[in-house]
Amino acid sequence: MAVEVVPVTGPEGLQSFNAFPGVVYRGTFAAPPFPIIEHAGHKRDRLFERVEAQAFLAVNRGYAAGRIAAGVHTDGRYRATGYFGYFEALPDPTVAAALLEAASAWLNARGVKVMIGPVDLTPHERVGLLVEGFRGLHLPGMPYNPPYYQELLKSCGLELEMNLLAYYCDLRKPLPERLLRVAARAMNNQALRIRELDFNNLSAEGEIFSCLHNGSMSGIWGFAPLSPEEGAAIWRKLQGFYDPSLLLVAEIDGKPAGLCLTLSVLKRNSGMAMAGPQTARLAVLAVLPAFRFKGLEAALIIECFRRACRRGVMRFEFSQIAENNQMMNKIIQSADQARKSRVYRVYRKILSGS
């Protein structure tokens, strides 16, 4: 019997879609918690309000054999590129091919010219397929998958779009003197203030996040614009789970200049910390162009490290950095205590109707 791919509709279909990773990862303890798609979730979650999406389930001989979701921005300016994400499949190339064909056809019908993935509907969610660094435990929110997924996607004719890198940093080792000197000079600027995120004013903080993201990331691979409402939605997702003292905003003369978003699981949520509560992830370092190359990047990193050390964090992960982001890769690689630890891959497919 041929593999059948069916669109997911209604609560029962979504329940099967969300439960499928349990089939693939049964007995795999390294896997972090997997995000789920809620029924009509994109209507309730501001992160998805500008996304049109469809989930699919592959069925083989009456049993679920794989899943995928296709998504595209509702704004016509960004519809040339669409995404496939939430990809999970048993080790069967015919299942993977059927899932990707369903996602491609759905996106093609909506005028999408290029499909990239895995991307969980928006680049503000999980991005990439783990292709190097499977050993050890993995941080929440980071992609994790069996090694055979790489062969499945390659067998379907997908090509490399971008490699995203993760670095491991041991905070028990001395920090680079040059980084400390540059940070110290920047901190001498009386106009500079580095503060924690204010969770009591998420509307204003969402606007600041939007301003910093859109103003600093537009030239970076994978950029997607962030509205103030979407910025506030991201903060809301982090609230209560991660240490707010490591979510830092830099202001110069009272105006937003930079952001350092580090995720360290609060002790009361230690069940989320698959890599241990002593490990944190520096997920975003953003500085507006007008303030770059003046030491602000170094000041944010050093302030974050110092705060993390006071809270018992001993290991840092920098992720995910696009392979072609020369500035960030150079900054990280200049530290003797940093080493590349994992590689995540994003694939591309040119759609036939393009």
Q: Where are the domains of the chain?
A: 4-163+346-350, 173-313
In the three-class reduction of DSSP (H, G, I as helix; E, B as strand; rest coil), residue 354 is classed as coil
Burial of 69-90, coded b for 16+ CB within 10 Å and e otherwise, reads bbbbbeeeeebebbbbbbbbbb
Q: Give the separation between CA 118 and CA 126, rounded to whole angstroms.
A: 8
**Cβ neighbours, 10 Å, residue 34:** 18
The reported pLDDT for the residue numbered 46 is 60
Distances in Å between the Cα of 138 and the Cα atoms of 3, 142, 208 are: 32, 7, 30
Q: Point out the least confidently predicted range of 33-37, 101-105, 109-113.
A: 33-37
Of the ranges 55-69, 127-141, 268-282, the best mean pLDDT one: 55-69
- Largest interatomic CA distance in the chain: 71
Which backbone phi and psi does 189 adopt, to 5 degrees?
Answer: -70, 115
pTM for this structure? 0.90
Per DSSP, what are the bridge partners of residue 22?
A: none
Q: Give the separation between CA 309 and CA 39, rounded to whole angstroms.
A: 41
The reported pLDDT for the residue numbered 37 is 67
Q: Which CATH architecture has domain 173-313?
A: 3-Layer(aba) Sandwich (3.40)
Q: Which CATH superfamily is domain 4-163+346-350 in?
A: Gcn5-related N-acetyltransferase (GNAT) (3.40.630.30)
The reported pLDDT for the residue numbered 40 is 45
Do the two domains 4-163+346-350 and 173-313 of this chain adopt the same fold?
A: yes
